[in-house]
Amino acid sequence: MKLSKMIFFQILIYGLSITSCYNAIGQDMSANLKTQTIRLSAAELERRAVKRVVPKFPPEVTAAWIQSTTQKLIVEVMLDKRGRVIQAKAISGVSLLRPFAVEAAKQWEFESKAEATNVLLVGYIIFPTPLEIYGMDLRDVNYYKNIVSQSPNSWIAQCLLAKALGEKKSYQQAIEAYNKALLLKPDAAIALYGLGRSYCPSQRQCERNKALESYRKATQLQPDFIEAWFGVAWMHDTPKMVQDAPQVWKQILTKHSDLGTRTIAYRNLVSLYARLKKVEEEINAHKGLVQTKQEDLAITLDEQGRFGVAAELISLAGEYEEIGKYEDAIFHYQKAIELAPETQAEWEASFSMAGVYKKKGDQAGAMSVYQEMLAKVTDRAFKVKTSKEQRGRAYYTQGLVYEEMGRLNDALESYQSAIKERPDWIKPHVGLFYLYRKMGNQIAAV
């Protein structure tokens, strides 16, 4: 009996071991088969498209008069193996247009490629925003007056007329037209938004309380009307209310965390905190802006976007430099250099980074940066065939670097070479003038 029990337990233990082994193998296989997400830029996804559908925006949204915030109406889509859209969501653009852009994106179809079964494709469709929603490409005011006379009971016609009047800076008449629209349709959020814009078209000309009330009513009627929330926040940007303005923008970030909203909110927070001299808060907001712009760059992969991120990195680095966080400053200057080579941002970040090394008392670090800059100039302009314009710019940059290094004679020669290549370009002449003064040669400077 004891023997039988021992055999039973041995078999049981053996069986459990086998089961554990298979479970472990199964877990390993599951890990290997985990879904992998591959993100495609807007351009890459566009190349795969075999069916495109343009959004149809109804007049009750295109009659709006939106303050320009972001031109890009972006929809993120998820594709199945057949290249069909299985999920779509708007991540940027005018909020009123987003639902219609999403509906159009769902109808797109894409070339089906031999992706692995565990690969999920996510990409981006960028739709153009109708320019009239920003008050651009409008017809003459009389055209819209004629529409109103033909459709006196149309609130949309009144909004169209008000928008045209607003663009002509006839704000009082625009207010009257928007109020007529609201008599016809009291819950017209776009009329309330337009009324807010008309009450406060600029900092100098602003009935702030009336504008704020209009924007707030628009958000109450249509909570997902993001631009109306922006209006509420902007109305807080006054000496009396500016302390409360950051909190309003943070509330907007809590309500709407999409890419477009974050870009605008963080940009405004950076500006507000800079004016309020809240450096740590400014840096945190700027980090959020950089992160958001990097996400946007992953969608477009364009040079303008790359330069934009680099510019924000330089600005963020400068903020770190101001409070003595030199290592953080150097890190972000270096990131800007790597992101936007052969641009103005690269040279600006390089000069600034060398300046930080000097502040640290690290002359060797500064000289290393300058030597790297000189090497780049040589490789890009003097080792290959380039135009006179490019050579002139290269000599001028070389002169700036030599001057920072204290090699004034070399700087002098470089500025003179730049002038020979581009005699009508003012910058090397100015550089030469100040260099002569620095060298004590007042006669040559004159």
Span 200-254, pLDDT tens digits: 999 889 999 999 999 999 999 999 999 999 999 999 999 999 999 999 999 999 9
pLDDT of residue 118: 75
- Asked, for residue 166, whether it belongs to a domain, the answer is yes
One domain for residues 158 and 77: no
Write down the mean pLDDT value for the chain: 90
Percent of the chain with pLDDT over 90: 84
Helix (H, G, I), strand (E, B) or coil at 157: helix
* Beta strands across the sheet bearing 85-92: 36-39, 119-127, 73-79, 85-92
pLDDT in tens, 391-400: 999 999 999 9
Q: Which two tokens stand for residue 2?
A: 């004891």
Q: Rounded to whole angstroms, how far apart are CA atoms 389 and 425?
A: 9
DSSP, collapsed to helix, strand or coil, labels residue 54 as: coil
Contact 108, 84 (CB under 8 A): no
- Distances from the Cα of 318 to the Cαs of 178, 330, 364, 397, 410, in angstroms? 45, 9, 21, 21, 29
Residue 286 domain flag: no
**Residue 342 belongs to a domain:** no
Give the burial class of 318: count Cβ atoms within 10 A of its Cβ; 0-12 exposed, 13-18 middle, 19 or more buried.
middle
Inside any domain, residue 344? no
Average pLDDT over every residue of 155-160: 98
Q: Of 293, 368, 379, 377, whose CA–CA distance to 336 is shortest?
A: 293
- Give the model's pLDDT for residue 117: 66
Location of structure tokens 């998820």: 78
Q: How confident is the model at residue 167 (pLDDT cuts 50, 70, 90)?
A: very high
Running DSSP on this structure, what letter comes out for residue 172? Answer: H
Q: What is the pLDDT of residue 29?
A: 37
Q: Is 410 exposed, middle or buried (0-12, 13-18, 19+ CB in 10 A)?
A: middle
Predicted pLDDT at 431: 95
Reply yes or no on whether the pLDDT at 444 is more than 80.
no
For 380-422, give the DSSP string: IIISS---HHHHHHHHHHHHHHHHHHT-HHHHHHHHHHHHHH-
Whether residue 77 contacts residue 124, with contact meaning beta carbons closer than 8 Å, is answered with yes
Summarize the confidence of residues 55-77 as an average pLDDT.
Answer: 91
pLDDT for residue 23 is more than 80: no
Same domain, 126 and 102: yes
Region for 147 from its dihedrals, namely left if φ exceeds 0, alpha if ψ lies in -120 to 50, beta otherwise: alpha
Is residue 172 situated within a structural domain?
yes
- List C-alpha distances in Å: 251 to 228, 233, 239, 291, 437: 13, 10, 20, 19, 54
Domain finish residue from 133, 154, 182: 133
215 token code pair = 């924007």
Residue 251 lies in a domain: no
Do 105 and 142 fall within a single domain? no
Same-domain status, 93 and 145: no
- pLDDT, residue 14, reads 41
Residues 72 and 125 in one domain: yes
Residue 112 confidence class, pLDDT cut points 50, 70, 90: confident
Q: Which of 235, 268, 295 finishes a domain? A: 235
Read off the pTM.
0.85
Q: Of all residues in the chain, what percent carry a pLDDT higher than 70?
A: 90
Shared-domain flag, residues 83 and 166? no
Are 216 and 159 within one domain?
A: yes
Kindly tell me if the per-residue pLDDT of 260 is higher than 80. yes
Residues 6+ apart with CB under 8 A from 172: none
Domain of 415 in residue numbering reads as: 385-446
The token pair at 182 is 């609201």
Is 70 exceeded by the pLDDT of residue 332? yes
* Domain count across the chain: 3
DSSP 64-104: --PPP----EEEEEEE-TTSBEEEEEEEES-GGGHHHHHHH
CA dihedral 345, 351, 356, 361 (to 10 degrees): 160
Last residue within a domain, chosen from 235, 251, 286: 235
Report pLDDT for 4.
Answer: 42
Tokens of 124: 């981006």
Mean pLDDT of 2-6: 40
Query: 93 lies in a domain?
Result: yes
Q: Could you tell me if 231 and 149 lie in one domain? A: yes
C-beta neighbour count of 389 within 10 angstroms: 11
**186 phi and psi angles, rounded to 5 deg:** -60, -25
Which candidate, 59, 62, 71, places its Cα nearest to that of 151?
59
Task: State yes or no: pLDDT of 19 exceeds 50.
Answer: no
SS3 122: strand
- 404 domain residue, yes or no: yes
- The stretch 14-34 carries a mean pLDDT of 44
Residue 129, classified by CB atoms within 10 Å of its CB into exposed (0-12), middle (13-18) or buried (19+), is buried
Domain match, 122 and 192 both:
no
State the CATH number of the domain containing residue 99.
3.30.2420.10
CATH number at residue 155: 1.25.40.10
